[in-house]
Amino acid sequence: MSQQYPVVGIDVAKSFCFYAILTPSGEQFMKSFKAFNDKDGLDFVLRQIKKVEHAFNRKPAIVLESTGHYSQRIVHFFCNRGFKVFLINPLISHSIKSSLIRKVKTDKVDAEELARLFFLRPLQEFAKQEDYCFSLKTLSRAAVLLSEQRVTMINQLTAAVEQVMPAYTRVFSNVASDTSLKLLIKYSSPHALQQAPKDEIVSLIRIFHIVV
């Protein structure tokens, strides 16, 4: 299949990408170029790729490394427009590229080498997902990550409070509860908490619960 398709290699960055386009025989089709990852930049990329389609009467294959959410945006942009996309594990691409003699290291060179991987070994085509599935998966990953970060922060807060106010956790077993956090914000030291009038503390707790 690699001998039948032109190929576009993409070196992905946060705000822009470098693109290298090769013919089905592995020759450079046009000079590598840079385009920003906004509407104008991607429209420009599509116009350049149209030249490839007209020249070879078929859409080129798209090859890029997996770089987290930066590459995911580019993958779905091309998948939604009917391109065959090949998303490569960086460990695989790096091991192959490191075996090649590289006199220079630039984004343009990386884009071209990614394109050449299409001719060097069989690649697995990216399986396009429905947009809602992709969004759900992205949000689920974010929720899990935030949950893990929250647990870590609560553990760190509890450890700090136990050092500064050892008796505090006898009253508030959950240091991160809303009431506990409200008190810690207002009385951030044992002395401040001990010197605060009891009525003031009770009033603060009562007001907070009413607001909640």
Average pLDDT over residues 166-189: 85
For the stretch 59-87, pLDDT in tens is 999 999 988 778 888 998 999 899 999 99
pLDDT category of residue 212 using cuts at 50, 70 and 90? very low
Q: Is the pLDDT of residue 100 over 60?
A: no
The least confident of 18-27, 85-94, 155-164 is 85-94
Confidence at 141, pLDDT banded by 50, 70, 90: confident
pLDDT at 101: 47
Higher per-residue pLDDT: 93 or 142 = 142
pTM score over 0.75: no
| Residue 165 burial (10 A CB sphere; 0-12, 13-18, 19+) | buried
Q: What is the pLDDT of residues 143-159, one digit of tens each?
A: 999 999 999 999 999 99
Domain with CATH 3.30.420.40 in the chain: 7-128
How many other CB atoms sit within 10 Å of the CB of residue 93?
Answer: 19
φ and ψ at 203, to 5 degrees? -65, -40
* Average per-residue pLDDT for the chain: 84
CA distance 109 to 112: 5
pLDDT of residue 211: 46
Residue 126 main-chain phi, psi, to 5 deg: -70, 130
**Sequence-ordered list of residues with C-beta below 8 angstroms from that of 208, at least 6 positions apart, any chain:** 178, 179, 182
Q: Is the confidence at residue 99, as pLDDT, over 60?
A: no
Confidence of residue 131 (pLDDT cuts 50, 70, 90): low
**7-128: which CATH number, 3.40.50.2300, 1.20.140.10, 3.40.50.1820, 3.30.420.40?**
3.30.420.40
